[in-house]
């Protein structure tokens, strides 16, 4: 089962991708999480990515595509995966389609988590992230058991550098220009499904499981 999560920054792609990964037993692959882990570890890849991310810009395709294709060729991806934050540009989508076609495969589901821009900014300012294990919380909608501490691994929670309102506005602009066209791309391939991302997290997940099946 190969799934792509589409949707604006803060739409809830990561939140839902984690639930999907758990229920269907496939790895959750977030390019944003991979970049943040590399920034934290101080790798060359992380240093390349950080400047773009902090401005709300996309990391160049030359860096991102190779990294993602390497990841999906690892052994744990044999049964499928849920991609969160990739593809984000038409060239990324075309590279993925081509790489899969070479193995006689294709994406099964592209799920667009639809949330209007107005809702996004307030969601982002309440988000808290664990940079160690990738868990995500919200001060209002999904608080951790102990304030500021990750339920999963006990690390300190932080406001992501790119969740400041100014940067969020840039990310939304970039989303509309470069990523939204993927909705039509996957519609034409006949695999697009849209869910209303303004519902509660549980209701969004319910809509997604109806699409994916038991």
Is 88 annotated as catalytic?
yes
Residue 112 pairs in a beta bridge with 6, 194
Q: Exposed, middle or buried, 183 (CB in 10 Å: 0-12/13-18/19+)?
A: middle
Q: Which of 18, 88, 123, 128 is catalytic?
A: 88
Is there binding between residue 95 and ligand AP5 (CB under 6 A)? no
- 56, 168 contact by CB (below 8 A): yes
Binders of ligand AP5 in range 14-53 (CB under 6 A): 14-15, 30-32, 35, 52-53
Integer Cα distance of 91 and 65 in angstroms? 9
Is there binding between residue 7 and ligand AP5 (CB under 6 A)? yes
- 17, 208 contact by CB (below 8 A): no
As a residue count, the chain comes to 214
**Which of 6, 11, 12, 14 is close enough to bind Mg ion by CB under 5 A?**
14
Is there binding between residue 197 and Mg ion (CB under 5 A)? no
DSSP state of 146: S
Q: Which of 36, 123, 127, 128 is catalytic?
A: 127
For the chain, the first-to-last Cα distance in angstroms comes to 12
Integer Cα distance of 174 and 193 in angstroms? 22
**Which of 12, 110, 150, 208 is close enough to bind ligand AP5 by CB under 6 A?**
12
Is 79 annotated as catalytic?
no
Is 128 annotated as catalytic?
no
Query: Which of Mg ion, Zn ion, ligand AP5, none has residue 15 at its interface (CB below 5 to 8 Å by kind)?
Result: ligand AP5
- 3, 108 contact by CB (below 8 A): yes
Positions that interact with ligand AP5 (CB under 6 A): 7, 9-15, 30-32, 35, 52-53, 56-59, 64, 85-86, 88, 92, 123, 126-127, 136-138, 141-142, 162, 171, 199-201, 204
Which residues are identified as catalytic?
13, 88, 127, 160, 171
Positions that interact with Zn ion (CB under 5 A): 130, 132-133, 135, 150, 152-153, 155
């Amino acid at each position: 089962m190969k799934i792509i999560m589409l949707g604006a920054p803060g739409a809830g792609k990561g939140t839902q991708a984690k639930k999907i990964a758990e229920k269907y037993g496939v790895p959750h692959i977030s390019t944003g999480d991979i970049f943040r882990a590399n920034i934290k570890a101080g790798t060359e890849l992380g240093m390349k990515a950080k400047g773009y991310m902090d401005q709300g810009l996309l990391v160049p395709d030359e860096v991102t595509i190779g990294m993602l294709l390497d990841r999906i060729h690892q052994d744990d991806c044999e049964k499928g995966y849920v991609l969160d934050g990739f593809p984000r540009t038409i060239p990324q989508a075309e590279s993925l389609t081509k790489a899969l076609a070479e193995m006689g495969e294709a994406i099964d589901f592209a799920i667009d988590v639809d949330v209007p821009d107005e809702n996004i900014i307030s969601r982002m300012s309440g988000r808290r992230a664990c940079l160690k294990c990738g868990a995500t919380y919200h001060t209002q909608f999904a608080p951790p058991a102990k304030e500021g501490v990750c339920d999963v691994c006990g690390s300190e929670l932080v406001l992501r550098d790119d969740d400041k309102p100014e940067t969020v506005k840039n990310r939304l602009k970039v989303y509309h220009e470069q990523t939204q066209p993927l909705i039509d791309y996957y519609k034409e391939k006949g695999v697009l499904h849209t869910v209303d991302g303004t519902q509660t997290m549980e209701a969004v997940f319910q809509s997604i499981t109806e699409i994916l099946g038991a």
